[in-house]
Structure 1
Amino acid sequence: MTDTADRAPPTIGKRIELTLRALVLGCLLAVIFTAANTYLGLKVGLTFASAIPAAVISMAVLRLFKDSTIWENMTVQTVASVGGAMSAIIFVLPGLVMVGWWLEFPFWPC
């Protein structure tokens, strides 16, 4: 049996989640996934879940920094997946027009 107390990681007690680089990377991925989801939704009629690709991409990018943590990766994934999910508005707005709740929408502004 081995003693794991002397092999504790050096970041114990230092849980850094919210950093500037996590927010910038998350917002960048959110913009990319929102644009891709909106285009795909309007062109094909379906969207994709952006949480798993955001997690994989953020792991690859954050690996370039030596002091990055898994909690920072979680922040990037959360920001990117929420931003990618915002593209679902492409299904709500046409639905409101179809049911007649938003008939005053200016389709062809003069």
Structure 2
Amino acid sequence: MYQDADPVEMPENAFRELGEGEHYRPIMHPAHDYPEVTPYSVSMGLILAIIFSAAAAYLGLKVGQVFEAAIPIAIIAVGFSGALKKKNPLGQNVIIQSIGACSGVIVAGAIFTLPALYILQAKYPDISVNFFQIFLSSLLGGILGILFFIPFRKYFVKDMHGKYPFPEATATTQVLASGLGKDSANAGQAKTLIFASLIGGIYDYVVETFGFWANTLNTMVTSWGQTLAEKTKLVVSCNTTAAVLGLGYIIGLKYSFIIFAGSIFVWWVII
């Protein structure tokens, strides 16, 4: 049954399968009209998409791993809507998050394939690569992905409600929904995100510009590490830049170890 009052938090049955005859009432009730696609939401979504596309491209080319921007974008959207005193901001925040979160998907497809074009161009001079071709391929790839996603949306979102765990999507929705409360904690989360970005930026700037300490630690700093390198050509290093440390914190120890094990398998077995 539908609830009478507008909920501030996610309904209890948002996290499980629905029972016989049970209905799930979305926080944005379909019978009500909400401001969604507005100049503010579209422009903010595009700005965040550009910012996080640049960040994802840099990190992907540097360490071969991109991050999912949906959660930080949702926090920023809620923080800005609270600071600007937006009324009924949930619909607009959903649009901001949806536009901005496309950044990682498009960038991942570009940075892992476009370098191959330049390698081919170096090997075969007759092959030419220009900016318009790169832009067009990314644009058409993004449109194609959206067109393929549309027919499956109802099936995965409604028909399969609660059957598959979507922790990232659920976490993003909880962030957006918690912004409806009068005493929302997301303003504090947005400040934390901004301060963390400033600290990380200052940290990387000091390391890269002034070189007060090395941004990569390796076993060569010890005597046994030097001996190991001389005899086996083995050096173990750890990148300590803010982006990599932050990405490792987001991924967690389990998946970081899986990526590490994959790297060992590639270098020591396949190569």
Normalised to the residue count of structure 2, the TM-score between the two structures is 0.33
| Contact map agreement 1:40 1:47 (CA 8 A) in 2 | yes
The residue aligned with 2:53 is 34
Flag structure 1 segments of 5+ consecutive residues without an equivalent: none
1:73 partnered with 2:93: yes
Question: Shift of residue 105 of structure 1?
Answer: 3.8
1:18 pairs with 2:29: no
Note the C-alpha offset of 1:35: 0.4
1:14–1:90 CA distance, 2 compared to 1 (3 A): same
1:67 is paired with a residue of what secondary structure?
Answer: coil
Match status 1:92 vs 2:113? yes
What one-letter code is carried by the residue in structure 2 that aligns with 1:77? Q
Matched-pair contact (CA < 8 Å) for 2:118–2:129: no
Alignment root-mean-square deviation, CA: 2.8
Amino acid aligned to 2:35: I
Tell me which structure has the larger Cα radius of gyration. 2
CA offset at residue 27 of structure 1? 0.8
In 1, distance between residues paired with 2:34 and 2:71? 23
Q: Find the aligned partners of 1:56 and 1:68 in 2 and give their Cα distance.
A: 16
Matched residues in 1 for 2:112 and 2:70: separation? 20
Q: How many equivalent pairs are there?
A: 101
| Identical-residue share of aligned pairs (%) | 33
Runs of 4+ in 1 over 3 A off after TM superposition: 95-98
* Higher RCO structure (Cα 8 Å, ≥6 apart): 1
